[in-house]
Structure 1
Amino acid sequence: MDYLKFVQAFQNQQVATSEPNEIIFNTYNIGELVLTSGRLVACDPLVNPDSEPFKVTLNPGRYPVILSVAHFQRNNDRRVVYAMLCLSQQTPVRWEMATTCNEDENLSLLAEGEIFGYGVDSGTGCFMDADAAEIINESMYSAYSTKTRAEDLTYQIECELQKNYSDTWDWANVCVDNSTHANVIAFHSGWGDGIYPTYFGYDATNNIVNVITDFNL
Protein backbone atom coordinates (compact mmCIF):
# COMPACT_ATOMS: atom_id res chain seq x y z
CA MET A 1 0.00 0.00 0.00
CA ASP A 2 1.23 3.49 -0.86
CA TYR A 3 1.09 5.41 2.43
CA LEU A 4 2.50 8.53 0.79
CA LYS A 5 -1.07 9.38 -0.19
CA PHE A 6 -1.84 10.01 3.50
CA VAL A 7 0.80 12.73 3.65
CA GLN A 8 -0.20 14.30 0.34
CA ALA A 9 -3.91 14.40 1.15
CA PHE A 10 -3.27 16.50 4.26
CA GLN A 11 -1.38 19.16 2.33
CA ASN A 12 -3.91 21.93 1.76
CA GLN A 13 -4.74 22.67 -1.90
CA GLN A 14 -2.91 19.52 -3.03
CA VAL A 15 -3.99 18.74 -6.60
CA ALA A 16 -4.36 15.24 -8.02
CA THR A 17 -5.64 13.98 -11.34
CA SER A 18 -7.89 10.97 -11.79
CA GLU A 19 -9.04 10.96 -15.39
CA PRO A 20 -11.20 12.71 -16.37
CA ASN A 21 -11.34 14.53 -13.02
CA GLU A 22 -9.06 17.04 -11.32
CA ILE A 23 -9.20 16.69 -7.54
CA ILE A 24 -8.23 19.35 -5.01
CA PHE A 25 -7.68 18.31 -1.38
CA ASN A 26 -8.52 20.68 1.46
CA THR A 27 -8.09 20.10 5.18
CA TYR A 28 -10.52 21.01 7.94
CA ASN A 29 -9.87 21.00 11.68
CA ILE A 30 -13.27 20.08 13.13
CA GLY A 31 -12.44 20.14 16.83
CA GLU A 32 -10.59 18.35 19.59
CA LEU A 33 -11.42 14.81 20.62
CA VAL A 34 -11.35 14.25 24.37
CA LEU A 35 -9.89 10.86 25.21
CA THR A 36 -10.86 10.13 28.78
CA SER A 37 -9.52 6.57 29.01
CA GLY A 38 -7.31 6.44 25.92
CA ARG A 39 -9.29 3.53 24.49
CA LEU A 40 -10.03 4.81 20.99
CA VAL A 41 -13.12 3.69 19.08
CA ALA A 42 -13.65 4.27 15.35
CA CYS A 43 -17.07 3.18 14.12
CA ASP A 44 -20.45 4.17 12.71
CA PRO A 45 -21.79 6.02 15.79
CA LEU A 46 -25.39 6.03 14.56
CA VAL A 47 -25.58 2.25 14.09
CA ASN A 48 -22.77 0.57 16.03
CA PRO A 49 -21.75 2.72 19.02
CA ASP A 50 -21.08 -0.51 20.92
CA SER A 51 -18.04 -1.26 18.73
CA GLU A 52 -14.84 -2.53 20.35
CA PRO A 53 -11.98 -0.08 20.96
CA PHE A 54 -8.65 -0.62 19.26
CA LYS A 55 -6.17 -2.94 20.91
CA VAL A 56 -3.58 -0.17 21.27
CA THR A 57 -4.35 2.31 24.07
CA LEU A 58 -3.45 5.98 23.63
CA ASN A 59 -2.59 8.59 26.24
CA PRO A 60 -5.69 10.36 27.57
CA GLY A 61 -5.92 13.99 26.49
CA ARG A 62 -7.35 16.36 23.90
CA TYR A 63 -6.35 15.88 20.27
CA PRO A 64 -7.41 17.65 17.06
CA VAL A 65 -9.38 15.80 14.41
CA ILE A 66 -8.58 16.88 10.86
CA LEU A 67 -10.44 15.87 7.72
CA SER A 68 -9.02 15.68 4.22
CA VAL A 69 -11.85 16.56 1.84
CA ALA A 70 -11.52 15.93 -1.90
CA HIS A 71 -13.18 18.42 -4.25
CA PHE A 72 -13.94 16.73 -7.57
CA GLN A 73 -13.87 19.62 -10.03
CA ARG A 74 -15.82 17.99 -12.84
CA ASN A 75 -19.09 17.58 -10.91
CA ASN A 76 -18.36 19.93 -7.98
CA ASP A 77 -18.65 17.02 -5.52
CA ARG A 78 -16.86 17.05 -2.15
CA ARG A 79 -16.09 13.91 -0.16
CA VAL A 80 -14.21 13.10 3.04
CA VAL A 81 -11.23 11.01 1.96
CA TYR A 82 -9.43 10.62 5.30
CA ALA A 83 -10.12 11.44 8.94
CA MET A 84 -7.06 11.96 11.14
CA LEU A 85 -6.68 12.09 14.91
CA CYS A 86 -3.47 14.08 15.38
CA LEU A 87 -1.53 13.07 18.50
CA SER A 88 1.80 14.75 17.72
CA GLN A 89 3.51 16.98 15.18
CA GLN A 90 6.18 14.34 14.57
CA THR A 91 6.37 12.79 11.11
CA PRO A 92 5.21 9.17 10.77
CA VAL A 93 7.77 6.84 9.20
CA ARG A 94 5.64 3.69 9.17
CA TRP A 95 2.00 2.68 9.35
CA GLU A 96 0.19 -0.27 10.84
CA MET A 97 -3.44 -1.27 10.32
CA ALA A 98 -5.42 -0.88 13.54
CA THR A 99 -7.12 -3.90 15.09
CA THR A 100 -9.49 -4.37 18.00
CA CYS A 101 -9.30 -7.03 20.70
CA ASN A 102 -11.47 -9.28 18.54
CA GLU A 103 -9.47 -12.50 18.29
CA ASP A 104 -10.36 -12.79 14.60
CA GLU A 105 -8.46 -9.57 13.80
CA ASN A 106 -4.98 -10.98 13.27
CA LEU A 107 -2.89 -9.05 10.75
CA SER A 108 -0.82 -12.13 9.94
CA LEU A 109 -3.94 -13.80 8.54
CA LEU A 110 -4.66 -11.08 5.97
CA ALA A 111 -3.99 -11.80 2.33
CA GLU A 112 -2.63 -9.03 0.12
CA GLY A 113 -5.28 -6.38 -0.44
CA GLU A 114 -7.45 -7.51 2.48
CA ILE A 115 -8.29 -5.23 5.40
CA PHE A 116 -9.75 -5.11 8.86
CA GLY A 117 -12.10 -2.18 9.27
CA TYR A 118 -15.38 -0.97 10.64
CA GLY A 119 -18.69 -1.23 8.86
CA VAL A 120 -20.69 1.88 7.98
CA ASP A 121 -24.43 1.70 7.34
CA SER A 122 -25.45 5.34 7.88
CA GLY A 123 -22.80 7.05 5.77
CA THR A 124 -21.08 8.23 8.96
CA GLY A 125 -17.83 7.39 10.73
CA CYS A 126 -16.33 8.76 13.92
CA PHE A 127 -13.62 8.86 16.54
CA MET A 128 -14.51 8.67 20.23
CA ASP A 129 -13.28 7.27 23.52
CA ALA A 130 -14.75 3.98 24.72
CA ASP A 131 -16.28 5.90 27.65
CA ALA A 132 -18.22 8.08 25.20
CA ALA A 133 -19.22 5.04 23.15
CA GLU A 134 -20.71 3.39 26.22
CA ILE A 135 -22.75 6.50 27.03
CA ILE A 136 -24.08 6.77 23.47
CA ASN A 137 -24.96 3.09 23.36
CA GLU A 138 -26.84 3.29 26.66
CA SER A 139 -28.76 6.37 25.52
CA MET A 140 -29.78 4.66 22.28
CA TYR A 141 -31.26 1.65 24.04
CA SER A 142 -32.83 3.77 26.77
CA ALA A 143 -34.52 5.97 24.17
CA TYR A 144 -35.70 2.89 22.29
CA SER A 145 -37.36 1.44 25.39
CA THR A 146 -38.99 4.74 26.42
CA LYS A 147 -39.63 5.96 22.86
CA THR A 148 -38.12 9.37 23.70
CA ARG A 149 -36.11 10.09 20.55
CA ALA A 150 -34.84 13.49 21.72
CA GLU A 151 -32.89 11.85 24.57
CA ASP A 152 -31.10 9.54 22.14
CA LEU A 153 -27.58 10.84 21.64
CA THR A 154 -27.50 9.37 18.14
CA TYR A 155 -30.38 11.71 17.30
CA GLN A 156 -28.35 14.65 18.63
CA ILE A 157 -25.41 13.56 16.47
CA GLU A 158 -27.70 13.42 13.43
CA CYS A 159 -28.94 16.95 14.15
CA GLU A 160 -25.39 18.29 14.41
CA LEU A 161 -24.43 16.56 11.17
CA GLN A 162 -27.33 18.28 9.43
CA LYS A 163 -26.30 21.67 10.85
CA ASN A 164 -22.80 21.26 9.43
CA TYR A 165 -23.80 19.79 6.07
CA SER A 166 -22.09 21.31 3.04
CA ASP A 167 -21.79 20.01 -0.51
CA THR A 168 -22.13 16.26 0.10
CA TRP A 169 -20.14 16.08 3.31
CA ASP A 170 -20.77 16.89 6.95
CA TRP A 171 -19.36 16.62 10.45
CA ALA A 172 -20.41 16.87 14.10
CA ASN A 173 -18.71 17.43 17.45
CA VAL A 174 -21.04 16.41 20.28
CA CYS A 175 -20.23 16.37 24.00
CA VAL A 176 -21.85 13.34 25.64
CA ASP A 177 -20.68 13.84 29.24
CA ASN A 178 -20.51 17.33 30.71
CA SER A 179 -18.49 16.17 33.72
CA THR A 180 -15.59 14.66 31.74
CA HIS A 181 -16.18 16.51 28.44
CA ALA A 182 -16.09 13.17 26.63
CA ASN A 183 -17.28 13.72 23.07
CA VAL A 184 -17.78 12.10 19.71
CA ILE A 185 -16.48 13.63 16.51
CA ALA A 186 -18.38 12.27 13.52
CA PHE A 187 -18.00 12.83 9.78
CA HIS A 188 -19.31 11.63 6.44
CA SER A 189 -17.63 8.45 5.22
CA GLY A 190 -16.40 9.00 1.67
CA TRP A 191 -19.01 7.81 -0.83
CA GLY A 192 -21.13 6.41 2.01
CA ASP A 193 -21.56 2.89 3.34
CA GLY A 194 -18.79 0.32 3.31
CA ILE A 195 -15.99 -1.16 5.40
CA TYR A 196 -13.13 1.19 6.17
CA PRO A 197 -9.69 0.53 7.68
CA THR A 198 -7.87 2.66 10.24
CA TYR A 199 -4.09 2.99 10.53
CA PHE A 200 -1.70 4.03 13.30
CA GLY A 201 1.20 6.21 12.18
CA TYR A 202 4.48 5.71 14.10
CA ASP A 203 7.47 8.04 14.26
CA ALA A 204 11.15 7.07 14.23
CA THR A 205 11.09 6.38 17.98
CA ASN A 206 8.06 4.08 17.63
CA ASN A 207 5.55 6.46 19.17
CA ILE A 208 2.08 6.80 17.67
CA VAL A 209 1.76 10.26 16.15
CA ASN A 210 -1.59 10.00 14.36
CA VAL A 211 -4.51 7.74 13.57
CA ILE A 212 -6.08 7.82 10.10
CA THR A 213 -9.25 6.23 8.75
CA ASP A 214 -9.15 5.68 4.99
CA PHE A 215 -12.52 6.00 3.22
CA ASN A 216 -11.23 4.32 0.06
CA LEU A 217 -11.95 6.98 -2.54
Structure 2
Amino acid sequence: MPLEVVDGMGAVALIRSGFERFFVDGPVGRPTGGGEQQVVTVQQAGELALPTGRLVAADPFVLWPEDAEAFTDEVEPGSYPVSVSLVSYLDGDGVPDLRQGYRVAAAKVTVRDEPAYSWRPAVLPGEHVPMLPVMPEFGYEVKSSTGAFFDLSAAPALDRLASDDEAGDCALIDALNAVGGGRGPATVTDPRTGLNVVAFSTGWGDGVYPTWVGRNTAGDPVAFVTDFFVINKF
Protein backbone atom coordinates (compact mmCIF):
# COMPACT_ATOMS: atom_id res chain seq x y z
CA MET A 1 0.00 0.00 0.00
CA PRO A 2 1.35 3.48 -0.76
CA LEU A 3 2.63 5.64 2.03
CA GLU A 4 0.01 7.62 3.90
CA VAL A 5 1.06 11.04 5.18
CA VAL A 6 -0.59 14.09 6.65
CA ASP A 7 -0.22 17.19 4.54
CA GLY A 8 -0.14 20.76 5.79
CA MET A 9 -3.93 20.85 6.16
CA GLY A 10 -4.12 17.55 8.00
CA ALA A 11 -5.64 15.66 5.07
CA VAL A 12 -4.78 12.10 4.23
CA ALA A 13 -2.54 11.86 1.17
CA LEU A 14 -1.72 8.63 -0.60
CA ILE A 15 1.40 9.18 -2.66
CA ARG A 16 1.47 8.36 -6.38
CA SER A 17 1.64 4.58 -6.39
CA GLY A 18 -1.87 4.49 -4.87
CA PHE A 19 -4.84 3.47 -6.90
CA GLU A 20 -3.21 3.66 -10.33
CA ARG A 21 -1.87 0.16 -9.71
CA PHE A 22 -5.43 -1.11 -9.34
CA PHE A 23 -6.01 -0.21 -12.99
CA VAL A 24 -3.06 -1.91 -14.71
CA ASP A 25 -3.55 -5.37 -16.23
CA GLY A 26 -1.50 -8.08 -14.52
CA PRO A 27 -0.58 -9.46 -11.10
CA VAL A 28 -1.35 -7.20 -8.17
CA GLY A 29 -0.82 -7.19 -4.42
CA ARG A 30 0.64 -9.88 -2.22
CA PRO A 31 -0.46 -13.53 -2.45
CA THR A 32 -3.47 -14.62 -0.41
CA GLY A 33 -3.16 -16.81 2.65
CA GLY A 34 -3.81 -19.78 0.39
CA GLY A 35 -0.96 -18.84 -1.93
CA GLU A 36 -3.15 -17.51 -4.72
CA GLN A 37 -2.06 -14.55 -6.80
CA GLN A 38 -4.57 -11.84 -7.66
CA VAL A 39 -4.62 -10.67 -11.27
CA VAL A 40 -6.20 -7.45 -12.53
CA THR A 41 -8.10 -7.09 -15.78
CA VAL A 42 -9.26 -3.56 -16.52
CA GLN A 43 -12.63 -3.25 -18.24
CA GLN A 44 -13.99 -0.06 -19.73
CA ALA A 45 -17.59 0.59 -18.72
CA GLY A 46 -18.40 3.46 -21.08
CA GLU A 47 -18.88 7.19 -20.73
CA LEU A 48 -20.72 8.70 -17.78
CA ALA A 49 -22.65 11.90 -18.45
CA LEU A 50 -22.05 14.56 -15.79
CA PRO A 51 -24.08 17.53 -17.04
CA THR A 52 -23.72 19.33 -13.70
CA GLY A 53 -20.21 18.09 -12.94
CA ARG A 54 -21.46 16.83 -9.57
CA LEU A 55 -20.63 13.15 -9.07
CA VAL A 56 -22.57 10.78 -6.84
CA ALA A 57 -21.42 7.31 -5.74
CA ALA A 58 -24.07 5.17 -4.04
CA ASP A 59 -25.97 1.91 -3.90
CA PRO A 60 -28.51 2.47 -6.69
CA PHE A 61 -31.10 0.13 -5.21
CA VAL A 62 -31.45 1.72 -1.77
CA LEU A 63 -30.99 5.43 -2.48
CA TRP A 64 -34.02 7.70 -2.47
CA PRO A 65 -33.62 10.48 -5.09
CA GLU A 66 -34.09 13.22 -2.51
CA ASP A 67 -31.27 11.75 -0.41
CA ALA A 68 -28.68 11.81 -3.18
CA GLU A 69 -25.62 13.93 -2.38
CA ALA A 70 -22.70 14.74 -4.64
CA PHE A 71 -19.07 14.95 -3.59
CA THR A 72 -17.82 18.42 -2.77
CA ASP A 73 -15.21 18.14 -5.53
CA GLU A 74 -16.91 19.19 -8.76
CA VAL A 75 -15.61 18.78 -12.32
CA GLU A 76 -16.33 20.51 -15.59
CA PRO A 77 -19.70 19.38 -17.03
CA GLY A 78 -19.19 16.74 -19.70
CA SER A 79 -18.82 13.00 -20.20
CA TYR A 80 -16.08 10.99 -18.52
CA PRO A 81 -14.88 7.40 -18.98
CA VAL A 82 -15.58 4.85 -16.26
CA SER A 83 -13.50 1.72 -15.81
CA VAL A 84 -13.51 -1.13 -13.32
CA SER A 85 -10.72 -3.26 -11.94
CA LEU A 86 -11.69 -6.94 -12.19
CA VAL A 87 -9.67 -9.28 -9.99
CA SER A 88 -9.36 -13.01 -10.66
CA TYR A 89 -7.10 -15.59 -9.01
CA LEU A 90 -4.26 -17.93 -9.99
CA ASP A 91 -3.32 -20.86 -7.77
CA GLY A 92 0.24 -21.66 -6.79
CA ASP A 93 0.80 -23.42 -10.11
CA GLY A 94 -0.45 -20.46 -12.12
CA VAL A 95 -3.77 -22.12 -12.97
CA PRO A 96 -6.87 -19.86 -12.92
CA ASP A 97 -9.23 -20.55 -10.03
CA LEU A 98 -12.49 -20.73 -11.95
CA ARG A 99 -14.50 -21.31 -8.79
CA GLN A 100 -13.94 -17.74 -7.66
CA GLY A 101 -14.41 -16.14 -11.06
CA TYR A 102 -13.77 -12.43 -10.78
CA ARG A 103 -14.64 -9.65 -8.37
CA VAL A 104 -15.03 -5.94 -9.05
CA ALA A 105 -12.20 -4.62 -6.90
CA ALA A 106 -12.52 -0.92 -7.69
CA ALA A 107 -14.36 1.50 -9.95
CA LYS A 108 -12.90 4.66 -11.44
CA VAL A 109 -14.12 7.83 -13.11
CA THR A 110 -11.25 9.37 -15.07
CA VAL A 111 -11.43 13.16 -15.17
CA ARG A 112 -8.01 13.83 -16.72
CA ASP A 113 -5.67 11.42 -18.44
CA GLU A 114 -2.77 12.07 -16.10
CA PRO A 115 -1.45 10.47 -12.92
CA ALA A 116 -2.58 11.56 -9.50
CA TYR A 117 0.02 13.08 -7.22
CA SER A 118 -2.06 12.55 -4.09
CA TRP A 119 -5.26 10.81 -3.01
CA ARG A 120 -7.68 12.13 -0.44
CA PRO A 121 -11.13 11.06 0.72
CA ALA A 122 -13.98 12.26 -1.48
CA VAL A 123 -16.39 13.79 0.99
CA LEU A 124 -19.97 15.03 0.98
CA PRO A 125 -21.17 18.48 2.06
CA GLY A 126 -20.75 18.87 5.79
CA GLU A 127 -18.26 16.02 6.10
CA HIS A 128 -14.70 16.60 7.21
CA VAL A 129 -11.66 14.96 5.69
CA PRO A 130 -10.59 12.09 7.96
CA MET A 131 -7.42 12.73 9.92
CA LEU A 132 -4.50 10.50 10.82
CA PRO A 133 -3.63 8.61 12.95
CA VAL A 134 -7.30 7.91 13.71
CA MET A 135 -9.19 7.48 10.47
CA PRO A 136 -12.94 6.94 10.92
CA GLU A 137 -14.92 4.83 8.53
CA PHE A 138 -16.12 6.78 5.53
CA GLY A 139 -17.83 5.92 2.28
CA TYR A 140 -21.27 4.88 1.13
CA GLU A 141 -23.26 1.99 2.50
CA VAL A 142 -24.11 -0.90 0.20
CA LYS A 143 -27.02 -3.22 0.99
CA SER A 144 -27.66 -4.77 -2.45
CA SER A 145 -24.06 -5.76 -3.33
CA THR A 146 -24.18 -3.04 -6.01
CA GLY A 147 -22.59 0.36 -6.41
CA ALA A 148 -22.94 3.07 -9.04
CA PHE A 149 -21.68 6.39 -10.35
CA PHE A 150 -24.10 9.02 -11.69
CA ASP A 151 -24.64 12.76 -11.93
CA LEU A 152 -26.63 14.39 -9.15
CA SER A 153 -29.24 15.50 -11.68
CA ALA A 154 -29.74 11.86 -12.68
CA ALA A 155 -31.05 10.77 -9.26
CA PRO A 156 -34.73 10.72 -10.37
CA ALA A 157 -33.74 8.86 -13.56
CA LEU A 158 -31.81 6.32 -11.51
CA ASP A 159 -34.87 5.75 -9.36
CA ARG A 160 -36.81 4.76 -12.49
CA LEU A 161 -34.02 2.55 -13.80
CA ALA A 162 -33.65 0.73 -10.48
CA SER A 163 -37.40 0.14 -10.04
CA ASP A 164 -39.71 -2.41 -11.62
CA ASP A 165 -41.81 -1.23 -14.53
CA GLU A 166 -45.44 -2.19 -15.17
CA ALA A 167 -44.30 -5.54 -16.58
CA GLY A 168 -42.23 -6.27 -13.50
CA ASP A 169 -38.90 -5.71 -15.27
CA CYS A 170 -36.03 -3.65 -13.86
CA ALA A 171 -33.76 -2.05 -16.46
CA LEU A 172 -30.74 -1.87 -14.15
CA ILE A 173 -31.04 -5.46 -12.91
CA ASP A 174 -31.52 -6.72 -16.46
CA ALA A 175 -28.42 -4.85 -17.62
CA LEU A 176 -26.30 -6.19 -14.76
CA ASN A 177 -27.53 -9.75 -15.29
CA ALA A 178 -26.44 -9.53 -18.92
CA VAL A 179 -22.80 -8.91 -17.93
CA GLY A 180 -20.48 -11.10 -15.91
CA GLY A 181 -23.13 -13.21 -14.26
CA GLY A 182 -24.73 -10.19 -12.69
CA ARG A 183 -21.51 -8.52 -11.56
CA GLY A 184 -21.37 -5.95 -14.31
CA PRO A 185 -20.26 -3.35 -15.07
CA ALA A 186 -23.33 -2.08 -16.86
CA THR A 187 -24.15 1.33 -18.28
CA VAL A 188 -27.84 2.14 -18.55
CA THR A 189 -29.44 5.25 -20.06
CA ASP A 190 -32.78 6.66 -19.01
CA PRO A 191 -34.83 7.10 -22.22
CA ARG A 192 -36.81 9.97 -20.72
CA THR A 193 -33.85 12.24 -19.91
CA GLY A 194 -30.88 10.75 -21.75
CA LEU A 195 -28.95 10.63 -18.45
CA ASN A 196 -27.13 7.47 -17.54
CA VAL A 197 -25.73 5.46 -14.66
CA VAL A 198 -22.79 3.06 -14.47
CA ALA A 199 -23.38 0.21 -12.02
CA PHE A 200 -21.27 -2.74 -10.85
CA SER A 201 -21.07 -5.32 -8.09
CA THR A 202 -19.17 -4.33 -4.97
CA GLY A 203 -16.30 -6.68 -4.27
CA TRP A 204 -17.47 -9.37 -1.86
CA GLY A 205 -20.88 -7.81 -1.28
CA ASP A 206 -22.43 -5.45 1.23
CA GLY A 207 -20.44 -3.03 3.35
CA VAL A 208 -19.26 0.56 3.52
CA TYR A 209 -16.92 1.52 0.69
CA PRO A 210 -14.80 4.68 0.41
CA THR A 211 -14.31 6.85 -2.65
CA TRP A 212 -11.05 8.73 -3.09
CA VAL A 213 -10.26 11.71 -5.28
CA GLY A 214 -6.87 11.84 -6.96
CA ARG A 215 -5.32 15.23 -7.65
CA ASN A 216 -2.48 16.43 -9.83
CA THR A 217 0.29 18.73 -8.60
CA ALA A 218 -1.94 21.75 -9.24
CA GLY A 219 -4.60 20.29 -6.94
CA ASP A 220 -7.11 19.60 -9.72
CA PRO A 221 -9.13 16.35 -9.60
CA VAL A 222 -7.92 13.77 -12.12
CA ALA A 223 -9.91 10.71 -10.96
CA PHE A 224 -12.40 9.33 -8.45
CA VAL A 225 -11.87 5.73 -7.29
CA THR A 226 -14.11 3.61 -5.09
CA ASP A 227 -12.22 0.79 -3.35
CA PHE A 228 -14.15 -2.41 -2.58
CA PHE A 229 -11.41 -3.96 -0.42
CA VAL A 230 -10.67 -6.92 -2.68
CA ILE A 231 -7.03 -6.33 -3.55
CA ASN A 232 -4.49 -7.54 -1.00
CA LYS A 233 -2.56 -4.31 -0.76
CA PHE A 234 1.19 -4.17 -0.76
| Alpha-carbon spacing, 1:154–1:111, altered in 2? closer, same or farther (3 Å) | farther
Tell me which moved more, 105-114 or 78-87: 105-114
In terms of fraction of residues, the more helix-rich structure is: 1
Structure 2 residue runs without a partner (length 5+): 3-13, 92-96
After the TM superposition, which segments of 4 or more aligned residues of structure 1 sit over 4 Å from their partners? 108-111, 151-154
Query: Matches of residues 125-204 of structure 1 in structure 2 within 5 Å?
Result: 125-137=147-159, 139=160, 149-150=164-165, 155-166=170-181, 169-179=183-193, 181-204=194-217
| Alpha-carbon spacing, 1:178–1:150, altered in 2? closer, same or farther (3 Å) | closer
SS of the residue corresponding to residue 23 of structure 1 reads strand
Q: Deviations over 1:44-94 (max 9, x none)?
A: 001115331111221111111010111022443211111000111111000
Structure 1 residue runs without a partner (length 5+): 144-148
Query: Is 1:7 the counterpart of 2:20 in the alignment?
Result: yes
- Equivalent residue pairs, number: 206
Q: Distance in 2 between matches of 1:46 and 1:58?
A: 25
| Alpha-carbon spacing, 1:8–1:140, altered in 2? closer, same or farther (3 Å) | closer
Tell me which moved more, 48-57 or 38-47: 48-57
Q: Distance in 2 between matches of 1:95 and 1:109?
A: 13
Tell me which moved more, 45-54 or 90-99: 45-54
Alignment identity in percent? Answer: 31
Query: Is 1:80 the counterpart of 2:104 in the alignment?
Result: yes
Kept in 1: contact 2:84–2:185 (CA 8 A): no
The normalised TM-score by structure 1 is 0.85
The normalised TM-score by structure 2 is 0.79
